[in-house]
A and B are shown apart, each in its own frame.
Chain A
Amino acid sequence: MPTMTTLQFTLLSALVAAPRHGYALVAEVEAETGKRPGVATVYAAIVKLQAAGYVVAAGDEIVDGRSRRYFALTTAGTTALSVEAEEIYQRAGRARRRIRAASSTTEALA
């Protein structure tokens, strides 16, 4: 059972390498999932992750008169991401084993 949404997982994953600003995270989610998320949706997810202590604001900058807030992963965020990634890996493994078992049964019957 996932403890976070796919969007929250993708955002945490995008912050592993380095802190990123909000709009860069929107672009990152689009690149990762192939689907463009709503800006307000992404920002709401960041706020939830901040409240959970997984992400912190890491400074603001002004670019062309627009405010950019950078976000960074916390230690708690890294741990939560590792746990979630491991769970997804285990579930994927179980699904692959079941598919292989079903395929071999079908082949045996054929």
Chain B
Amino acid sequence: MNDDRPSRPLKIYPRGWRIAHEAPLEGMLAEAALDHPEASAREHAAASARGTWLRLRWPLAFTLAIGSALFTFGAIVLLATSSGDEAGVYVQSALFLATPLLAVLSLGITYGASIALTYRWLPATLIAAGVTLAGATHVVWYRLVDTPVQPAFNPWLPLVASAITILAIGVAVILTPTFTRSGMPRAASVTLALLTGAFTAPMLTVFLFLPFGAPLLALFAITSVVIGHRQSRRHLTF
């Protein structure tokens, strides 16, 4: 057996992670290769994939957060320097669609890379979908508001209703376990979480429609990534 083999997939891991964890993981891979040589290639591929993700996740979260801020900045510059409907559409798309979408994706990666024990895919996906839909709703509204001939079917209302519904369910899915853990019966927890979701989702949607909503969201994403990254380094999870 080649003794160097278990160390090969670990070369992709971030340097700080390798300093803290390389020796024990390499030892585990070596023992696994002795016990199950047939699974060695699969183990190494899995270790490489995990290392690649560990190396990419923070740069990706940073890039998305900075990207969301740049879209906001670009929209403000465009707003200040140009006029006309075409520029307006770009400003709306950058400010109300691209900025929140990139910020939410950045927050999702930050949450996944945090020290939280479990990743809750369902609420994370629902919130990302709701925010994107709310942004799309705003752009559709902007396109239609000055149109002299309104279309027979205006998609604005169904879009905004869908965005609010998805965000409300996302908030409810986040809150239900918190209420249940506080000792509340399951049915009461779900009801209270849904009511809270129904109350907060319209406010969240209105916040996303406000001109300062996008810059604040971008700022929140950047701050979260910086704090999350520091916390991750402190706990040696990198």
* A50–B236 CB distance below 8 A: yes
Report 14 cross-chain contacts, Cβ distance below 8 Å, ordered by A residue: A1-B181, A22-B24, A22-B25, A23-B27, A23-B32, A38-B42, A38-B47, A39-B29, A39-B47, A43-B25, A48-B115, A52-B117, A65-B3, A66-B26
The closest CB in chain A to the CB of B9 belongs to A40
Lowest 4 CB-CB distances: which A-B pairs, in order? A1-B177, A69-B24, A51-B235, A40-B47
Q: How far is the CB of A2 from chain B (nearest CB, A)?
A: 7
* A49–B177 CB distance below 8 A: no
- Chain B residue numbers with a CB within 8 Å of A1 are 176-177, 180-181
- Chain A residue numbers with a CB within 8 Å of B124 are none
In whole angstroms, how far apart are the Cα atoms of A75 and B144 in the complex?
Answer: 60
- Chain A residue numbers with a CB within 8 Å of B177 are 1, 3
A14 contacts the other chain (CB 8 A): no
- Chain A residue numbers with a CB within 8 Å of B118 are 2-5, 8
* Interface 1/0 per residue, B26-53 and A, CB below 8 Å: 1111111000100100110011001100
For the complex, count residues of A whose C-beta is within 8 A of B.
Answer: 30
For the complex, count residues of B whose C-beta is within 8 A of A.
Answer: 31
Q: How far is the CB of A52 from chain B (nearest CB, A)?
A: 6
* A48–B28 CB distance below 8 A: no
* Interface 1/0 per residue, A39-56 and B, CB below 8 Å: 111111001111110000
- Chain A residue numbers with a CB within 8 Å of B31 are 23, 66
Q: Provided the pairs A22-B25, A39-B25 are in contact, do residues A47 and B237 lie with their beta carbons within 8 angstroms? A: yes
Of the listed residues B9, B31, B46, the one surrounded by the most CB atoms of chain A closer than 10 A to its CB is B31
Contact partner, B21, options A26, A47, A52, A66, Cβ 8 Å = A47
Q: How far is the CB of B30 from chain A (nearest CB, A)?
A: 5
A36 contacts the other chain (CB 8 A): yes
* A68–B117 CB distance below 8 A: no
Q: How far is the CB of A48 from chain B (nearest CB, A)?
A: 6
B210 contacts the other chain (CB 8 A): no
- Chain A residue numbers with a CB within 8 Å of B9 are 40
Q: How far is the CB of A32 from chain B (nearest CB, A)?
A: 17
* B43–A38 CB distance below 8 A: yes
Q: How far is the CB of B109 from chain A (nearest CB, A)?
A: 16
